Amino acid sequence: MKGKKTLSIRPQPDAAVPETVMVMAAGLGKRMRPLTATRPKPLVQVAGKTLIDHTFDHLRAAGVKRAVVNVHYLADQMEAHLRARVKDMEVLISDEREQLLETGGGIVKAREMIGDKPFLCVNSDNLWIDGPVDAIRALAARWDDEKMDALLLLVPLARANCHRGMGDFRVDAQGRITERRKPGRVAPFVYIGVQILSPRVIRDWPEGPFSTNLFWSRAMEAGRLYGVVHQGLWFDIGTPEAIPMAEAALADA
């Protein structure tokens, strides 16, 4: 007869987590079709829970108080889900029904709701499992406002479950992100959809849709783009085929 597992309480990083998060929930989820034919991608279920509910579980655990959520595709469904499921956190909607603005444009549209302090930015279709410490708290503990404009949560390419890419960045010994992956090459780290951004870097933006890559490039050129390596599991839930693979791994975790 197997003995019961004893749950140990692990010490968590002692750092102030940003009070506000920008939750990216407006994408079309084209690669996730046919599952997204009738629902937005963040409402696709993995292991019996929607992706956005997995995300909000992490935000609650880290102590985040306020979420700004952008919506576009099947926005009424997303708003109804948030009203029904998120009762313990202030939720503001950044409405992109008229035009999908991508990640950078979405942040610009929501900037007045986000405020003037460093904030979390999380992809709502992200799925990760914390390692020895809470990943959001670990990110907050590493944040240094004097030398950083952006701090990204990364995972080694070798541990990027269900991921089909070739990596995103190279990082030096101090955690500074020094370069992007070059064409035809492999980069050792993958960005996994969780970051802290300073409002300082949100300036001189183009009109219309654009990517957060603009802000990252600006921070990298100034030597102010850093990364933290995630110590737990991460799954790239980009296609329907990734769901059973992730669920099988989660069942063994």
Taking alpha carbons only, the member of 208, 221, 198, 180 closest to residue 99 is: 208
Rounded distance, CA 191 to CA 205, Å? 22
Torsion of CA 219, 193, 121, 138, to 10 degrees: -90
CB-based contacts of 170, cutoff 8 Å, min separation 6: 177, 178, 179, 180, 181, 187, 188, 189
pLDDT of residue 46: 95
177-214 pLDDT tens trace: 999 999 999 999 999 999 999 999 999 999 999 999 99
The series of mean pLDDT values per 10 residues for the chain, 253 residues long, is 40 76 94 93 95 96 95 96 94 96 96 95 91 94 96 96 92 94 93 96 93 96 96 93 90 74
Do residues 227 and 169 lie in contact, with contact meaning Cβ atoms separated by under 8 Å? Answer: yes
Rounded distance, CA 100 to CA 23, Å? 14
List the beta bridge partners of residue 161. 235
CB atoms closer than 10 angstroms to residue 157: 17
Do residues 125 and 4 lie in contact, with contact meaning Cβ atoms separated by under 8 Å? Answer: no
Span between the terminal Cα atoms of the chain, in Å: 21
pTM for the predicted model, two decimal places? 0.91
Do residues 42 and 33 lie in contact, with contact meaning Cβ atoms separated by under 8 Å? Answer: no
